[in-house]
């Protein structure tokens, strides 16, 4: 079934006044189909041409939905539909049971935050659209076995559980950590952690705080919160806002956890597949944007820059950028290019900055060969006074200030450059790579002064080296660039 233009909510209600109130609150945002019984709701789902983004249940008695034919049918036949329960007072045992049975995905006590409900429903609609093109993930991928990381300061219980699980299966490894801080170190060292189950009450960072951090830093890791304490507010907040996979009560039982971890691993594979599919699609779409940006930069810069050097300098500069591998495009990069003024601002700001640099450049009609001493002095002056500069600059000073900018942007000192002289040529190379985390042809969401300054410096390095009758070679790597300058020189 396709996703409708306006996200739809299927409302299952018991009280007609509650229905009217809900429709008043959300009727302008969503298409609402309301039903007073499970059967009429199921009949609607069976005949509908589009699936609702969410089912919202507003029962008089929340525990009455433990045997709900609607929830069990939606769980089994329509797993992509978000299931939300709204009630007056929801007990922790009920919440955990509904989550364990996968009958609901979110749970809110009245009064609800309208913006939070809207956010969850819209996110569900967008997520289903993104996952509809994801590949089948039922088969476990080849490679290193995934790991389950259990975080709890009760080491004896954790070790005992780990041994039990290790004897019961060979599908995954079991790791343990006694604190959130140790867990973060484990994640840094082991890139195959697929699931994290953490206790809530621990010294230092609490479990929910750890899971909130992982949601941002490791979005494909499946997160499970566990506790021996009946903290319904913590559990509800973790489910709704932390988007955890499950809330697991203590004491643990190995057989129950084995089944839970198998489901969590399947969910992890689905998340990875959806991420990879989204990245692949974003990369394909950004390739077209990159070509357009490349063409516009050539159009706006070539006449001005190449007339100064007498060579196709702009094209060589863009080729150097193309050789630098940066992080892959993501949907936010596409939205920034398509829905904001990013592309216009990039051309305006970069072309303007390059133009001002060229206006300050004072080409020498017949550049005299350098000496190593003169070059080193000019480089030292540029490093000591990176912002200094007169109204006009000779090519040598422009070249050295460009090198200083690239060094500073990479956190490097002048000693990172190797300067050698052989015969009538001076060679300058960077012994440590320049860090180029993003550039004019890479995916970006915004412009920054450091980015523009670094990119201008690199282009002016091409310009000034050629005005000095020299050659410049570049070699791009992963977010890095190696540069080799070969300049005419004479002995001191």
Level-2 CATH architecture, domain 311-490: 2-Layer Sandwich (3.30)
Q: Do residues 426 and 468 make contact, with C-beta atoms less than 8 angstroms apart?
A: no
Tokens describing residue 310: 């007498």
Q: Where are the domains of the chain?
A: 8-131, 147-276, 311-490
Q: How many alpha carbons fall within 13 Å on the CB side of residue 228?
A: 9
Going along 44-140, which residue ranges are E strands? 54-58, 82-87, 106-109
Task: Please return the burial class of 349, using the count of CB atoms within 10 Å of its CB with bins 0-12, 13-18 and 19+.
Answer: middle
* Model pLDDT for residues 323-346, shown as the tens digit of each residue: 999 988 888 899 999 999 999 999
Q: Do residues 152 and 202 make contact, with C-beta atoms less than 8 angstroms apart?
A: yes
Going by CATH, does the domain composed of 147-276 fall within 3.40.50.2300?
yes
For residue 472, give every residue at least 6 positions away whose Cβ sits within 8 Å of its Cβ, in sequence order, or none.
316, 461, 462, 465, 466, 483, 484, 485, 486
Cα(339)–Cα(331) distance, integer angstroms:
12
* DSSP helix, strand, coil percent of the chain (3-state; round to 5): 50, 20, 30
Level-2 CATH architecture, domain 8-131: 3-Layer(aba) Sandwich (3.40)
Sign of CA dihedral 341, 344, 348, 349: positive
Tokens describing residue 384: 């000591």
The pLDDT of residue 127: 64
Sign of CA dihedral 270, 271, 277, 281: positive
Q: Do domains 8-131 and 311-490 have the same CATH topology?
A: no
Task: Please return the burial class of 337, using the count of CB atoms within 10 Å of its CB with bins 0-12, 13-18 and 19+.
Answer: buried
Residue ranges, the chain, pLDDT below 70: 1-5, 62-67, 92, 100, 126-143, 228-242, 278-279, 363-368, 386-391
Name the pTM for this structure: 0.52
* Model pLDDT for residues 410-464, shown as the tens digit of each residue: 999 999 999 999 889 999 999 999 999 999 999 999 999 999 999 999 999 999 9
């Amino acid at each position: 079934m396709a996703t409708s233009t306006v996200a739809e909510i299927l409302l299952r209600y018991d009280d007609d006044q509650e229905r009217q109130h809900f429709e008043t609150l959300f009727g302008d945002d969503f298409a609402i189909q309301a039903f007073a019984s499970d059967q009429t709701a199921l009949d609607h789902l069976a005949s509908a041409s589009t699936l609702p983004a969410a089912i919202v249940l507003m029962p008089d008695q929340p525990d009455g939905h433990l045997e709900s034919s609607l929830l069990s049918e939606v769980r089994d036949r329509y797993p992509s539909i978000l299931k939300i329960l709204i009630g007056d007072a929801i007990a922790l045992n009920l919440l955990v049971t509904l989550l364990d049975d996968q009958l609901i995905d979110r749970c809110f006590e009245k009064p609800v935050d309208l913006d939070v409900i809207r956010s969850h429903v819209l996110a569900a609609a967008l997520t289903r659209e993104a996952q509809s093109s994801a590949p089948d993930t039922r088969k476990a991928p080849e490679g290193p076995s995934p790991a389950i990381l259990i975080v709890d300061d009760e080491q004896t219980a954790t070790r005992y559980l780990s041994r039990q699980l290790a004897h019961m299966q060979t599908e995954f490894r079991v790791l343990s950590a006694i604190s959130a801080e140790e867990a973060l170190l484990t994640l840094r060292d082991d890139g195959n952690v697929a699931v994290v189950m953490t206790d809530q009450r621990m010294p230092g960072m609490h479990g929910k705080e750890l899971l909130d951090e992982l949601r941002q830093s490791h979005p494909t890791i499946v997160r499970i919160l566990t506790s021996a304490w009946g903290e319904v507010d913590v559990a509800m907040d973790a489910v709704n806002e932390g988007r955890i996979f499950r809330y697991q009560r203590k004491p643990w039982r190995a057989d129950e956890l084995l089944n839970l971890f198998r489901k969590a691993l399947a969910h992890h594979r689905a998340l990875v597949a959806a991420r990879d599919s989204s990245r692949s699609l974003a990369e394909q779409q950004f390739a077209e944007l990159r070509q357009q940006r490349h063409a516009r930069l050539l159009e706006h810069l070539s006449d001005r820059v190449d007339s100064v050097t007498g060579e196709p300098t702009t094209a060589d500069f863009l080729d150097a950028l193309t050789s630098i591998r940066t992080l892959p495009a993501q949907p936010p990069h596409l939205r920034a290019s398509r829905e904001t003024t990013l592309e216009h601002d990039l051309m305006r700001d970069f072309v303007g900055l390059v133009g001002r640099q060229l206006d300050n450049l004072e080409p020498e009609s017949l550049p005299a060969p350098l000496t190593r001493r003169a070059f080193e002095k000019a480089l030292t002056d540029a490093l000591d006074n990176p912002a200094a500069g007169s109204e006009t600059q000779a090519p040598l000073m422009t070249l050295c200030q460009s090198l200083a900018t690239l060094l500073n942007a990479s956190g490097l000192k002048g000693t990172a450059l190797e300067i050698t002289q052989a015969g009538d040529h001076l060679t300058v190379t960077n012994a440590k790579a320049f860090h180029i985390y993003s550039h004019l042809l890479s995916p970006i969401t915004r412009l920054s002064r450091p980015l523009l300054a670094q990119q201008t410096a690199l282009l002016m390095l091409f310009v000034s080296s050629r005005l000095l009758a020299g050659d410049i070679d570049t070699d791009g790597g992963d977010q890095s660039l190696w540069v080799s300058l070969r300049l005419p020189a004479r002995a001191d």
